[in-house]
Amino acid sequence: MAPLVLSVSPDAPEPEPIARAAALIRGGRLVAFPTETVYGLGADALDPAAIALIFAAKGRPQTNPLIVHVPDADEARSLVTEWPDAAERLAERFWPGPLTLILPKRDVVPAAVTAGLAAVAVRVPAHPVALALLTAAERPIAAPSANRYTLLSPTRAEHVERGLGDRVDLILDGGPTDVGIESTVLDLSGKHPVLLRPGMVPADAIERVIGPVERAAASLSDDAARLSPGLAARHYAPAARVVLVDRAREGEPPGTLIRQMPHPVALLVFGSSRSEPLAERVIAMPPDPETYARSLYETLHALDAEGFRTVLVERLPDDDEWAGVRDRLERAAHVE
């Protein structure tokens, strides 16, 4: 069965679909909605039964905690026992926006939301539809990305519909998302700030506000996975096999590799466009991190829908501003 999909203006959300979605949230049901990063699968964060529905719909292990979305920093503060100066300054600088902060939780936050951890992840999304829904629902909304566990996050309502079907009660369709990859996750619950998941708020921008940040997610290590269960290796993966390749110079195509891989093969080239006769599709990816992030999942979803079996992706630059997309590509390419 197809889920109910309601169109909503991303700039000026109409009250009716928002009211309908808010009523479902208050009734303990699941609503998928756009944020500026990816679509979220939302439920009342204070209702353990509704939280259980999220885990079931995603097929997600109970050990993997959820991000709680709130309309402003005051609401975030009401869910945590500590609000350090670093949180205040980061909230002022980056909220609403794609930065998630982890802080010691208050008792009102059910253990199911944090997978039993003592700290909760909170963020204020920069999307008028998400903010309107949070305001109308009058409660915090727990929302992981609206995809089945380990698969690609959705950047359009169609992706949610294809991936979750009628496991979700309502999808608010606010068009394609702007940022394109999931939020940066920063743990402020310990002695030192730790970057658990890189995103489009880069670590160096955070450091300019609060000083040194430890980069736990720089590798796919077991340590990073223990700190933040959602970071476990293969994740954010399309159906096609993703392989990272070195950037080729003109006239030096990765021909041998392309011959060995299952076809059709797509090649995502970085920087400049060039031809590759052995690949069925060559896509020139944008040279700046913002535009690259916006089109990455979009491109992978489209290639999946067309039945591509291999996606070769040229490696990205090494700096902080590319860390978010680099991380998602490495996870998509990870083979157990």
Could you list the residues that contact ligand TXA (CB under 6 A)?
A: 35, 37-38, 40, 64-67, 98, 100, 102, 114, 117, 119-121, 125, 143-145, 182-183, 185, 196-197, 228-231
> CB-wise, 13 or 40, nearer to Mg ion?
40
**Residue 8: φ, ψ to 5°:** -145, 140
Instruction: Pick what 231 binds: ligand TXA, Mg ion, none; C-beta below 5 to 8 Å, kind-dependent.
Output: ligand TXA
Rounded-to-integer distance, Cα 203 and Cα 321, Å:
8
Place of tokens 């040279």: 287
What is the 8-class DSSP label of residue 199? -
Rounded-to-integer distance, Cα 123 and Cα 197, Å:
14
> CB-wise, 3 or 65, nearer to Mg ion?
65
CB of residue 54 to ligand TXA, shortest distance in Å: 9
Rounded-to-integer distance, Cα 298 and Cα 92, Å:
30
CB of residue 189 to ligand TXA, shortest distance in Å: 8
DSSP-derived secondary structure for 231-278: G-SS-SB-SSEEEEEPPPPTT---HHHHHHSPSSEEEEEESS----TT
Instruction: Pick what 40 binds: Mg ion, ligand TXA, none; C-beta below 5 to 8 Å, kind-dependent.
Output: ligand TXA
> CB-wise, 83 or 309, nearer to ligand TXA?
83
CB of residue 122 to ligand TXA, shortest distance in Å: 9
CB of residue 33 to ligand TXA, shortest distance in Å: 8
Give the residues lining the site for Mg ion (CB under 5 A): 145
Task: Report the residue closest to ligand TXA, judged by CB.
Answer: 230
Rounded-to-integer distance, Cα 173 and Cα 191, Å:
41
At 167 the three-state DSSP class reads: helix
At 122 the three-state DSSP class reads: strand
CB of residue 323 to ligand TXA, shortest distance in Å: 15
108 neighbors 91 (Cβ within 8 angstroms)? no
CB of residue 5 to Mg ion, shortest distance in Å: 21
> CB-wise, 38 or 279, nearer to ligand TXA?
38
Instruction: Pick what 102 binds: Mg ion, ligand TXA, none; C-beta below 5 to 8 Å, kind-dependent.
Output: ligand TXA
> CB-wise, 45 or 266, nearer to ligand TXA?
45
Instruction: Pick what 268 binds: Mg ion, ligand TXA, none; C-beta below 5 to 8 Å, kind-dependent.
Output: none
CB of residue 250 to ligand TXA, shortest distance in Å: 37
> CB-wise, 121 or 195, nearer to ligand TXA?
121
> CB-wise, 145 or 299, nearer to ligand TXA?
145
Radius of gyration, alpha carbons of the chain: 20
CA distances, 13 to each of 10, 69, 142, 171 (Å) = 6, 18, 20, 14
Instruction: Pick what 316 binds: Mg ion, ligand TXA, none; C-beta below 5 to 8 Å, kind-dependent.
Output: none
Rounded-to-integer distance, Cα 183 and Cα 67, Å:
10
As a three-state string, the secondary structure of 29-50 is CCEEEECCCCEEEEEECCCHHH
